[in-house]
């Protein structure tokens, strides 16, 4: 039994652990005497109230302690300072000489021809490979072998992956779906967070959607934008893997800035030169192995600004075509 918790006031508990308010609400208490300590509050509960709630004082205390402990563990277990991928072997059994260490706030792109092994590298990181996949790679967290529960437990995994195809199997509205996730995370200010996620998703996609539309009716770009916003603002996973977003109609720069601002490690498999140069480094894959690791140079960053200018112009033309307009003017902005 936590004596400090018992002697803390209701106000202090809610300030430090706002998600406990959901427990009080679940037993019908929306207004609480916040000046009382938890011990005083428990001692003052009537027999009738305890019968209605289905718990005695000890069970209530245990429940509150469990909620607090679960969230403390969840916050601590997802704090990492580095992720290291140690090379294994290529498709022909040759040694993969390259290894890489990534830190929070870093974007690393994975490039190479179709079928070269980009998705396999993402899969190795997703499962925290320990020389037990076809590549023989090993993934370390903070320089150490991760615990088995961080590899195989669904609620303690450190990695979230956004695949090329987003297929939803539940018929919920966007708001219902994100609210359900927020409730699972037991976060405070649930409604505010849900609205922020939906608003942010609409900033990432060129096709706006309302919060009452069914998630099964979202386009590929809308679904990907929603999941990126959800991952950045609600998911506790510190490592994000993205398998191609260039063809999803997502504002790539905004999406990456959003994820990096949340201090996540981001790895993206891509064929897009703009996305590649937005990254801090890129891993070149050949024959199933990391053949080289290239740091984005200052000149490449300068070239990126010009490429983004051209990309914006292409988007403008696309919108004109969609609206039935003609392109009769000379496009000299792309010459010289």
**pLDDT tens string 62-100:** 888 887 776 655 554 557 899 999 999 999 999 999 999
pLDDT band at 125 (very low <50, low <70, confident <90, very high): very high
pTM of the model: 0.71
pLDDT at 333: 64
pLDDT at 319: 79
CATH 3.40.50.300 fits 83-296, yes or no: yes
Q: Tell me: the pLDDT tens digits for 134-173?
A: 999 999 999 999 888 777 766 667 888 887 666 676 788 9
Domain locations along the chain: 3-77, 83-296, 305-336
Contacts of 269 (CB under 8 A, 6+ apart): 109, 110, 118, 119, 121, 122, 241, 242, 243, 244
Better-scored residue on pLDDT, 335 or 104: 104
pLDDT at 166: 63
- Across the chain, what does the average pLDDT equal? 84
Q: Tell me: the pLDDT tens digits for 237-250?
A: 889 998 876 555 68
Q: Percent of the chain beyond pLDDT 90?
A: 36
Report d(CA 129, CA 136) in Å as an integer: 8
The stretch 198-214 carries a mean pLDDT of 90
């Amino acid at each position: 039994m936590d004596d400090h918790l018992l002697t803390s006031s209701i106000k202090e508990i809610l300030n430090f652990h706002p998600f406990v308010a959901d427990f009080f609400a679940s037993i019908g208490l929306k207004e609480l005497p916040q000046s009382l300590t938890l011990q005083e509050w428990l001692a003052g509960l009537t027999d009738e109230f305890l019968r209605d709630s289905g718990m005695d004082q000890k069970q209530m205390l245990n429940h509150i302690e469990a909620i607090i402990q679960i969230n403390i563990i969840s916050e601590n277990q997802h704090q990492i300072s580095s992720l290291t991928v140690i090379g294994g072997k290529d498709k022909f059994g040759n040694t993969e000489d390259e290894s890489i260490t990534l830190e929070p706030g870093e974007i690393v792109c994975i490039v190479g021809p179709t079928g070269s092994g980009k998705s396999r590298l993402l899969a190795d990181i997703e499962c925290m490979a320990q020389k037990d996949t076809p590549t023989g790679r090993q993934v370390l967290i903070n320089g150490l072998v991760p615990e088995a529960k961080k590899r195989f437990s669904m609620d303690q995994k450190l990695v979230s992956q956004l695949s090329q195809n987003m297929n939803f199997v539940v018929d919920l509205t966007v708001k219902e779906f994100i609210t359900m996730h927020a409730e699972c995370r037991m976060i405070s200010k649930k409604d505010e967070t849900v609205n922020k996620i939906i608003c942010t998703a609409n900033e990432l996609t060129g096709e706006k959607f309302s919060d009452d539309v069914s998630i099964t009716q979202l386009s590929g770009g809308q679904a990907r934008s929603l999941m990126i916003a959800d991952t950045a603002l609600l998911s506790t996973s510190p490592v994000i893997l993205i398998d191609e977003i260039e063809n999803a109609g997502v504002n790539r720069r905004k999406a990456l800035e959003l994820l990096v601002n949340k201090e996540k490690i981001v790895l993206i498999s891509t064929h897009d030169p703009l996305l590649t140069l937005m990254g801090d480094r890129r891993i070149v894959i050949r024959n199933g192995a990391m053949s080289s690791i290239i740091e984005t140079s200052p000149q490449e960053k300068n070239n990126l600004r010009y490429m983004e200018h051209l990309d914006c112009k292409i988007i403008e033309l696309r919108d004109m075509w969609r609206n039935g307009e003609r392109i009769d003017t000379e496009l000299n902005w792309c010459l010289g």
